[in-house]
Amino acid sequence: MRANPGKGNEKGRVERAIRDIRAFIETRDFTDFKDLNAKTDRWRKERNERVHRATRKTPASALSEEPLLPLPAIPYKPYRIIQATIGKTAFAGFDTNRYSVPVDYANTTATILAYADYLEIVIGQRKVAHHVRSLGRHQKIENPIHREKLLERTPHGKYERIYHLMKRMGEETDHFLTMGESEGEDPLRVAYGLFRLLRASSKEMLLSAVREANALRIYKLRYVESLLRPKGSKETAVYPQNTSLLDISYEKRELTDYDGLV
């Protein structure tokens, strides 16, 4: 609802709706959001069936007479758009926190799409990073796979750097590696195994598997591998973006056609 320009007499109609909603919320108790939504739905239906004193109609019947356009079929994505500069260490800053991107995108500009619980970092038309949004301050959120090319360029101490990257990835991996080492596991080998799993799985999937292992107190790499690579599973076939390429046909030729090239 809104008042039309120059129609001060309509202002009350706008404010009255806000007053009624506030009175509804302030005069009732709610156990949780589900209870709030249920009671709000009942209250809304009651109000929509009440005859309005000015129009002599119920809002429900008046709504059917409104020439409203349908909502677009494209789903709405509730995010904020923030322009960011990626520094030489390949991190983008948002709300005092730093989020990693692949090292190839250092010293560039990016667009951050900030959703309620996660972030997407886009350069041009390409999404280059996805992170769970941190509600802390001055945190460094890093995906170790973003450092893969940097590790290949500087192979000296590669496994030690992977170990430190995996420990910093989250409390889950830090605990998993520490407890595994206390039980005699090789921390460098385990960290590298987790890093390899990260290549084929998302960061959230890997952390979820590690959390389950921690909950069961199973600090073995093979257990995490069994969760992400079940026995007997097959790799998913890879298809081109343009599926019409799969329909390309060619004329069969005999081997004798190539004799003149020898």
Per-domain boundaries in the chain: 11-63, 80-141, 146-228
The answer to whether 197 and 144 have CB atoms below 8 angstroms apart is no
pLDDT at 79 over 80: yes
111-151 residue pLDDT tens? 999 998 899 999 998 999 999 999 889 999 999 999 888 78
Where do we find the tokens 């806000």? 18
> Percentage of residues in the chain with pLDDT exceeding 90?
50
**What SS3 class is residue 253?**
coil
Task: Give the pLDDT of residue 176.
Answer: 96
pLDDT at 233 over 90: no
The answer to whether 197 and 207 have CB atoms below 8 angstroms apart is no
pLDDT at 182 over 80: yes
> Percentage of residues in the chain with pLDDT exceeding 70?
82
The answer to whether 130 and 114 have CB atoms below 8 angstroms apart is no
Of the two residues 78 and 114, the one the predictor is more confident about is 114
107 pLDDT tier (thresholds 50, 70, 90):
very high
30-56 residue pLDDT tens? 888 788 889 999 999 998 898 988 888
Task: Give the pLDDT of residue 67.
Answer: 83
Instruction: Return left, alpha or beta for 159; rule: phi > 0 is left, psi -120 to 50 is alpha, else beta.
Output: alpha
Separation between Cα atoms, residue 54 and residue 118, nearest integer Å: 47
pLDDT at 254 over 70: no
Of the two residues 175 and 75, the one the predictor is more confident about is 175
Separation between Cα atoms, residue 78 and residue 116, nearest integer Å: 8
Task: Give the pLDDT of residue 75.
Answer: 80
Q: How far is CA 173 from CA 98, 157, 191, 208, 224, in A?
A: 19, 20, 9, 10, 11
